[in-house]
Structure 1
């Protein structure tokens, strides 16, 4: 029996509420994206934003809205309590997830702007991937002017605040776009773990700025207890992660452009199939050898 939700059981109502919650979750994601280090530029703007008296209340307020709405949704769902609590905890810990799921809606459905609740599954995943393919290629191409600005500006980029801010905001847009795409795609995928493994480079693009931010934040908190050299190494490590992030974006761009060419994409898929068939043949040979050893009578 198929586990794919039927359209007859589609969640109904609450379109305005879920649309507003999508906006709240996206606002939280954008606010976080602005303070993450996506490169070697924009430090002055990030520090100003973090120190701004309205930053923490804004972030906390958006987070609070997601939590309160999730608590209310626990009592308006026809799903099991285990499923409701699981979705509530996920959205409470990772507020951007509220863009695609809710504690008040059953498992196997996700929210799409303009389309409402849609069933997760292979068919929906393929349709969504086709719709997002071209916009994501265009978005990923933005890394090229960013690289150009950083290569031409070099260490003096921060001496040109407008260019540094533009570079930072562009990388923020790229990061937000990748995060939103990943949330939609992983929620729509029938096998979420398999999707994460197949698209590990997307996870790297999303997680590297978070790791760099936590590293530098920890260094600042311990600045009074550690030597300045360790803080400097933290900045250098962040620079290394920034370069890795650029490399991951370029790798992703090549892969996406490769998929846009059907002939090359088919050739690549055929090669993958051949490799998998060779591995399968080798595995079967090993299995036959192992079975043969089992069936052989023990030697006297």
Structure 2
């Protein structure tokens, strides 16, 4: 029996799965490198190198736009999703197929249907690396704190490289995890509302980076007072970011404790039970409306008539 060949949309998805995943990951690495250079104490070097990495990310946009155009010309049902990702390339990291929108390609897993089982499997896969990141960030925070009070970090450039690279890896890990898990869920707003701290960790350095772009422009204009003020705001935003990361990391480490995991599971059960109660109430309300709107059937009328005749007799 001859099997129906896959559509051109599926063929393109299968062909582009690995290259576009690598491209989106490279895009994130370049952004992380820009953030890393931005956190450097060397102001002038930081701005120049950061803008270089930022320019590399801009040069990658035609690649993602080209994929969207290809799906549009093929008439792919979900070509608009590809167009949206062309303007936000990191979202291509865990993109769904453009034929049905119900399958996804991930490394070491291949193509899988997006469901609760895949969500649980990916969450378990992320748990190990994120624990490593959580354990790594704590000594980095201590080292960073000591560098401001115990010694001059400019005298030990290798320590500065370790701190900046560690923060860069942390940002990259949080961003990759958030994008993949966000792509797996159907209720996007609910996921963002529940994981707003992770979203803040991702966005805060980017906002600070935009401040740095303005800062570089002010330096060229030789407006030293305003430039110094913006540089201080940049440092403040990064300290806030590191504090938020520390709190989130401590929260992740607490989840390793069996007792804490039991408490989280009980909270999850309670949330699910509340959702089930709401659904049952909605079903009952809809059923009541149906009962009120349903007319009396002729069979009921005919069966009731002889009873009345018997009583009259």
TM bucket by the smaller chain? 0.7 to 0.9
1:157-193 CA distance string (max 9 Å, x none): 2342222122111111111111111111000113111
RMSD of aligned Cα (Å): 3.3
Q: Is the 8 A contact 1:146 1:167 kept in 2?
A: yes
Q: Structure 1 unaligned runs (5+)?
A: 1-8, 279-300
* TM-score normalised to structure 2 length: 0.73
1:219 is aligned to: 215
Deviation (angstroms), 1:46: 3.4
1:282 is aligned to: none
2:303 is aligned to: none
User: Residues of 2 paired with 1:122 and 1:91: CA distance?
Assistant: 24
Q: Structure 2 unaligned runs (5+)?
A: 1-6, 275-313
1:84 is aligned to: 79
Which range is displaced more, 55-64 or 89-98? 55-64
1:297 is aligned to: none
User: Residues of 2 paired with 1:57 and 1:272: CA distance?
Assistant: 44
User: Residues of 2 paired with 1:276 and 1:24: CA distance?
Assistant: 38
Q: Is the 8 A contact 1:73 1:103 kept in 2?
A: no
Give 2:105's match in structure 1, choosing from 102, 111, 116. Answer: 111
Change (3 A) 1:38 1:245: farther
User: Residues of 1 paired with 2:156 and 2:215: CA distance?
Assistant: 27
Q: Is the 8 A contact 2:37 2:50 kept in 1?
A: no
* TM-score normalised to structure 1 length: 0.76
Q: Is the 8 A contact 1:34 1:172 kept in 2?
A: yes
2:114 is aligned to: 120
Count of residues in correspondence between the two structures? 266
Higher helix share: 2
Q: Is the 8 A contact 2:33 2:50 kept in 1?
A: no
1:244 is aligned to: 240
1:59 is aligned to: 57
Q: Is the 8 A contact 2:68 2:79 kept in 1?
A: no
Deviation (angstroms), 1:252: 1.4
User: Residues of 2 paired with 1:51 and 1:276: CA distance?
Assistant: 47
Change (3 A) 1:226 1:272: farther
User: Residues of 1 paired with 2:16 and 2:118: CA distance?
Assistant: 23
Higher RCO by CA contacts (8 Å cutoff, separation 6 or greater): 1
Give the alignment of 1:1-300 within 5 angstroms: 14-36=13-35, 40-41=39-40, 43=42, 46-50=46-50, 55=53, 58-76=56-74, 78-79=76-77, 83-85=78-80, 87-101=81-95, 104-154=98-148, 156-223=152-219, 227-270=223-266
1:236-265 CA distance string (max 9 Å, x none): 221121112112111211221222223222
Deviation (angstroms), 1:227: 4.5
